Structure 1
């Protein structure tokens, strides 16, 4: 089973292959929305972005929605958790949008 490591939360958990990253984060008590976790999904497109530290190749191909919202940030290893499936071990940083 793939392992997801959330560096800034000191959290690590296993997921089923092809698991949706956003659902996996929520299930394990982690929010990619940072300080605005209650309102961000409704206010901001791309509020569920995460920074992929390791394992970029272990994620699904970027969707058209990700390409539209993230644009060049895709090349900087950002992904939208809600649009991303996990197929192998990854390390991410949540709420990356706030820290940029």
Structure 2
């Protein structure tokens, strides 16, 4: 292997790493039988700017399916959303979305 091949290998691995880190991420809201539904709807409206109907749909999906994706985007933004939901007393996690 010559110096040019080593450089290509380094560039290829760097590209893969950047692609993996820059993938699409989701904030997952989990069903919480303790927290009142109107409170969850209000939090979703306030934190994400969802309409009342959309926030209601997401809350119902979390209740029905056990979880619902309430936001998508970069990892950093979704980490902030998860932390915000935790601060509001809701159960949320970060999940990478497959393409």
TM over 0.5: no
TM-score normalised to structure 1 length: 0.30
Which of the two has higher C-alpha Rg?
Answer: 2
What TM-score, normalized to structure 2?
0.30
More helix by share: 2
| Structure with greater strand share of residues | 1
